[in-house]
Amino acid sequence: MPVYQTAEAIREIIIPTIELDRKYTGEISRRENLMDKVKEKWGDLLYPNIEIIPPTVEYPKVQPIKEEEILILPERLTNPHYGSAELEQNLKEIAKKAPGIEKIWEITKDLPSLTKILLEEREQDE
Amino acid sequence: MANYYLETSAFLKRYKQEKGSAFVNQIIEDSSSVILYLNLTLVEVNRVLFCLYKYPQAIGEVQPISKDVFDSLIAQFGDDLLKMKKIVLTEEIIKETREILEKRYLKSLDLLHLATFLIVKKEFLDVKLISADRNIIEVAKTFVPENDIINPETYE
């Protein structure tokens, strides 16, 4: 469907039909009234030959982001479960050699309290 | 069935017979107990065991343990972990540490353990905190009833 942007364009379409109307129906006045109504309602849009004042506000230019500046972190840095399968496998491997708790207590008999070592480290931290 | 959050200071009592060891041992051996631990516990326990094995100077005048003893301890620890439920450090836990700091002060690792326990408690109302760290216990009392906190050292 054509979009009529100038008076000439409108006239080119409407005038011939007016002539046709005059010839075959005699309904000229009805067509002219229709054109006046169109002008009244859409005048500024149909006749854009008016001076357009450019905006005085200057907007800052947006710098396009360069492709190399977009950093996408790999999954191993964002997924807390990354590596869990390997860790689980590793635990299963070393657990095969677990000697049992009685044996552990026997070999740690002369060691200082592990809890105490941990708590002292926690106190020293930060 | 009982649910426990086993904080590292209590967990370590499993590997040396001392005050509180019997209680920790009992809940780990009890197959009807569900024991939860934070994955950071691996870092803390490994650090203590490596100090005994390779870096005794970091913990004072301690005779270093042999590789065989070290391997046995690591193996037993690995075996125990496989019987428990691991909690992964999440950003919700990190956010919870701030809620704690609004009311009380704790050091970073203590904060993470307590925050984890408080999140666990939102899911499992009956869970109990097992800890031998007086700082954590003291601050935990601000957030949960005292009977939700167990210091294994007071059980013997």
Tell me if A111 and B90 make a contact (CB, 8 A cut-off).
no
Tell me, yes or no, whether B123 lies in a domain: yes
Question: What pLDDT is attached to residue A88?
Answer: 95
pLDDT at B129: 98
CB A107 within 8 A of CB B69: yes
Closest chain A residue to the Cα of B49, Cα to Cα: A114
Nearest to B112 by CA among B10, B39, B30: B39
pLDDT over 90, % of chain A: 40
Residues of chain B found within 8 Å of residue A122, distances taken between Cβ atoms: 107, 109-110, 133, 135
Residue B127's nearest CA partner among B7, B42, B11 is B7
Q: How far apart are CA B99 and CA B117, in angstroms?
A: 13
Task: Indicate the pairing of strand B3-6 with strand B85-87.
Answer: unpaired
- Which amino acid would we find at residue A24? Y
Residue A94, burial from CB neighbour count under 10 angstroms (0-12, 13-18, 19+): middle
> B52, A111: Cβ pair inside 8 Å?
yes
- Would residue B108 count as lying in a domain? yes
C-alpha torsion sign, points A27, A28, A32, A38: positive
**Quick check: is B72 in a domain?**
no
- d(Cα B27, Cα B10) in Å, to the nearest integer? 11
Is B103 among the domain residues? Answer: yes
- pLDDT single digits (tens) A9-43: 666 666 665 565 565 665 555 656 666 776 676 66
- A50 backbone dihedrals φ, ψ, rounded to 5°: -100, 160
Q: Evaluate the CA torsion angle A80, B79, B32, B6 in order and state its sign.
A: negative
Q: How many domains does chain B have?
A: 1
Whether residues A115 and B9 touch (CB distance < 8 A) is answered with yes
The answer to whether A115 and B12 are in contact (CB under 8 A) is yes
DSSP conformational letter for A8:
H
With contact defined as beta carbons under 8 Å apart, do B144 and B20 qualify?
Answer: no
- The predicted-structure confidence for B29-43, as pLDDT tens digits, reads as follows 998 999 999 999 999
Classify A70 in phi/psi space as left (phi over 0), alpha (psi -120 to 50) or beta: beta
Asked whether the predicted pLDDT for residue A81 surpasses 50, the reply is yes
Closest in B25, B78, B132 to A101, CB measured: B25
Residue B35 lies in a domain: yes
Q: Which residues contact B153 (CB under 8 A, 6 or more apart)?
A: B19, B20, B132
pLDDT at A46: 53
Roughly how many angstroms between the first and final C-alpha of chain B, as a whole number?
22
Contacts of A32 (CB under 8 A, 6+ apart): A18
A23 in reach of chain B (CB within 8 A): no
Question: Is the minimum CB–CB distance between B94 and chain A shorter than 8 Å?
Answer: no
Give me the pLDDT at residue A50, please: 59
More confident site: A70 or A64? A70
Query: Which residues 137-156 in chain B show a CB within 8 A of chain A?
Result: none
Q: What is the pLDDT of residue A1?
A: 47
The residue in chain B having the minimum alpha-carbon distance to the alpha carbon of residue A126 is: B107
CATH number of the domain to which B91 belongs: 3.40.50
Q: Is residue B32 part of a domain?
A: yes
Encode chain B (156 residues) as per-residue pLDDT tens digits: 789 999 999 999 999 999 999 999 999 999 899 999 999 999 999 999 999 999 999 888 788 999 999 999 999 999 999 999 999 999 999 999 999 999 999 999 999 999 999 999 999 999 999 999 999 999 999 999 999 999 999 976
* Contact (CB<8Å) B16/A96: no
pLDDT score, position B52: 96
Averaged over A54-62, what is the pLDDT?
A: 75
What domain range includes position B148?
A: 3-41+85-155
B147 lies in some domain: yes
Q: Would B58 be classed as within a structural domain?
A: no
- B109 inside 8 A of chain A by CB: yes
Q: Is the pLDDT of residue A93 over 50?
A: yes
User: Which amino acid type is present at position B42?
Assistant: L
Q: Is A115 helix (H, G, I), strand (E, B) or coil?
A: helix
